[in-house]
Amino acid sequence: MRQPSQNGSSPPVTISKHQQKHIENVLSRLLKTREAEPFRDPVDPVAHNVPDYLNVIKEPMDLGTIDRRLRQRGIKPGPPYTTIDEFARDVRLVFKNCYTYNGDTHPVSALASKVSDLFENAMAALPPEVSCIRL
């Protein structure tokens, strides 16, 4: 049985092999959608003519960075995801950054909304944590 952490909540649940496969598939499907094109790579303030982007968005995130972090197990650009919440937080951050910078009515925000809906629906089918008891 899991022991609560010092603040009374349960400790974070690590990602099972089945869940890992599921979130890899979810991200792969997102990356393949046409609507995800603006979110596949980091925003380049020069190329996209948004020189103030990094002044407005303090924690940039994109689906390609998430994909590399998910699949490379700690090789740059960051440590591997150890919980579903860490993974989901970064995916949601991509869309939050889009809405923050562009506003809710911008065409790229409409794309973000579609991709976000795909993500949330796919995550609703996440396999539950499976506990194995050996006798």
Instruction: Indicate the pLDDT class of residue 135, thresholds 50, 70 and 90.
Output: very low
Distance of alpha carbon 41 from alpha carbon 101, whole angstroms:
16
For the chain, the structural domain boundaries read 17-123
Global pTM value: 0.83
Record the tokens describing residue 8, joined without a space: 């009374």
Q: Say which residues have a Cβ less than 8 Å from residue 76's Cβ, sequence separation at least 6.
A: 68
Q: Which of 15-19, 32-36, 63-67, 113-117 has the lowest mean pLDDT?
A: 15-19
Are 34 and 43 in contact by the 8 Å Cβ rule? The answer is no
State the Cα–Cα distance between residues 41 and 61, nearest whole angstrom. Answer: 9
Encode burial over 71-99: b for 16+ CB neighbours within 10 A, e otherwise.
Answer: eeeeeeeeeebeebeebbebbebbbbbbb
Tokens encoding 85: 């919440």
Six-digit token pair at 18?
Answer: 């089945």
CATH fold of 17-123, please? Histone Acetyltransferase; Chain A (1.20.920)
- At 42, the pLDDT band (50, 70, 90 cuts) reads very high
